[in-house]
Amino acid sequence: MQHLILLHGAVGAKQQLEALASILDKKFTVHLVNFPGHGGRPMPAFGFSIALFAEDVLSYMQENNIERADFFGYSMGGYVAMFMARHHAEKVNRVITLATKFYWDEIVAAKEIKMLDAAAIQQKVPAFAEQLRNRHLPNNWSDVLEKTIAMLTSLGLNNALNAGDHSTINSSCLILLGDRDKMVTLDETVAVYKQLPNAELGVLPNTPHPLEQVNVEVLSFFIKKYLTGDA
């Protein structure tokens, strides 16, 4: 069976994609990957970056003798997958993204960073703080947030992918967005879709941004239909 690598979002972990993987593993050899510093993996010495995460995925592929793979990336994971399609095309067959924010500038970064304040999360949504704590043990979940804030700040100053990059990506891509996503707009998603030479666009019904609120049956239908032609 063909290899399919699932990539989680910012401050996330591979465990969030286990329900999706359990559906897809009937048709694919599914791989779940924690990015460095996530899901209990050791913190990288020089902080988080899209390039670092892409290099880590390449190392995983080498360790597991995977020459090429299809990719599904949620949110930031989709950005990493697209970055790989741009800079490591020989390793990428097809890319599917969901809820990925591709457009970054200082204003966008500042808005997203506000939602990653550890003290505010602890005070206002302690249940989410506890989820993050358990998700990233033995690491301190606030360290994960701090390094993510630094990465987003850097993206706001220097986007790792721009329109010129998207136009050179020849991998087949399916760009998905939830119809109720309040973080990623339809306009910015369509703009990226139009820049890609070989892409399709899909909108998931009744779907907000948080992965836990995505209907995995519906999502798996889109993935299987796109990759195999048979849902």
Q: Rounded distance, CA 10 to CA 141, Å?
A: 12
Flag whether 146 is in a domain. no
pLDDT of res. 163:
79
**Containing structural domain, residue 60:** 3-103+161-228
Flag whether 11 is in a domain. yes
Flag whether 115 is in a domain. no
pLDDT of residue 229 exceeding 90, the answer is no
pLDDT of res. 164:
87
Query: Which residue do the tokens 């998905």 mark?
Result: 176
pLDDT of res. 144:
97
pLDDT of res. 130:
96
Bridge partners, residue 69, by sequence: 92
Flag whether 50 is in a domain. yes
User: What is the arithmetic mean of pLDDT over 193-199?
Assistant: 96
User: What is the arithmetic mean of pLDDT over 210-230?
Assistant: 93
pLDDT of res. 131:
95
| Chain mean pLDDT for the chain | 95
pLDDT of res. 98:
98
pLDDT of residue 1 exceeding 90, the answer is no
User: What is the arithmetic mean of pLDDT over 199-219?
Assistant: 96
Flag whether 44 is in a domain. yes
163 versus 12: the higher-pLDDT residue is 12
CATH number at residue 196: 3.40.50.1820
Q: Rounded distance, CA 231 to CA 224, Å?
A: 5
pLDDT of residue 231 exceeding 90, the answer is no
pLDDT of residue 199 exceeding 70, the answer is yes
Structural domains in the chain (count): 1
49 versus 163: the higher-pLDDT residue is 49
pLDDT of res. 69:
98
User: What is the arithmetic mean of pLDDT over 210-217?
Assistant: 95
Q: Rounded distance, CA 81 to CA 100, Å?
A: 10
Flag whether 127 is in a domain. no
User: What is the arithmetic mean of pLDDT over 202-222?
Assistant: 96
Q: How confident is the model at residue 48 (pLDDT cuts 50, 70, 90)?
A: very high
pLDDT of residue 230 exceeding 80, the answer is no
Flag whether 97 is in a domain. yes
pLDDT in tens, 83-133: 999 999 999 999 999 999 999 999 999 999 999 999 999 999 999 999 999
Flag whether 77 is in a domain. yes
HEC string of 63-124 equals: HCCCCCEEEEEECHHHHHHHHHHHHCHHHEEEEEEECCCCCCCHHHHHHHHHHHCHHHHHHH
